[in-house]
Amino acid sequence: MPRSAEDTRRRILETAYDLFYRKGFSRVGVDLIAESAGITKRTLYSHFASKDALLAAVLERHHGLALARIRAWGDGLSGDLDGLLDSLFAALGCWAATPRWAGAGFTRLVMELADLPGHPARAIARRHKAAVEAWLAGELARRGVASPAARARELQLLLEGSQSLMLIHGDRSIVLAAAAAAKRLVRR
């Protein structure tokens, strides 16, 4: 039975995401993506004009999926501030415990593309991080935190920083220090 163009496109996106996340954008070529997706390079290029266009499509897709997961996760949280912060940093600690965890893909990608400030993937990553920060600000506002946008920015720094330090040190207890700092931060 022939595959639909949408099925093929989705398989390319998922394969590329997995490879980019595991190996990095610059270490993955279109030949490997095509081979891993079980298609020809010509088929890949019939769906995406370039590797950069494929990366942009991968990030757009995962931006939507990640935000939906965050919102669904947030819908199940209790109403109090400590519960939010405990759950947020505990979820980060659980994520860091998964096999082959390598931090936030959007962050890693922007670091890899640091010398290309105009790359479209950087704009998508920036939009994703801003959307997560806005979600955090909304959750903080719902819980009566003063200056929720400023506190959300600071929480974002703790989340991103704790991921970097967990990767550097291989120590997931760093997330506990970040959670304690977050609680002090939002109460000041």
- Structural domains of the chain in order of their starting residue, each with its CATH number: 1-48 (1.10.10.60), 55-187 (1.10.357.10)
> With contact defined as beta carbons under 8 Å apart, do 160 and 107 qualify?
yes
> What is the model's pLDDT at position 78?
75
Q: Which of 111, 63, 67, 88 is nearest to 175 (CA)?
A: 88
- List the structure tokens of 94: 């659980």
> What is the model's pLDDT at position 6?
93
pTM: 0.87
**All residues at 6 or more sequence positions from 88 whose CB lies less than 8 Å from its CB, including other chains:** 155, 159, 179, 182
> With contact defined as beta carbons under 8 Å apart, do 106 and 125 qualify?
yes
- Residue by residue, pLDDT tens for the chain (188 residues) are 457 999 999 999 999 999 998 898 889 999 999 999 999 999 999 999 999 999 999 999 999 999 999 999 888 887 789 999 999 999 999 999 998 888 898 898 889 999 988 898 999 999 999 999 999 999 999 999 999 999 999 999 999 999 999 999 999 999 999 999 999 998 87
Coarse DSSP helix, strand, coil percentages of the chain, rounded to the nearest 5 percent:
75, 0, 25
- DSSP assignment, residue 3? P
> What is the model's pLDDT at position 2?
57
Rounded Cα–Cα distance for residues 119 and 108 (Å): 14
> With contact defined as beta carbons under 8 Å apart, do 163 and 107 qualify?
yes
> With contact defined as beta carbons under 8 Å apart, do 165 and 181 qualify?
no
Neighbours of 41 (CB within 10 A): 13
Q: What angle do CA 160, 161, 162 make, to 5 degrees?
A: 95
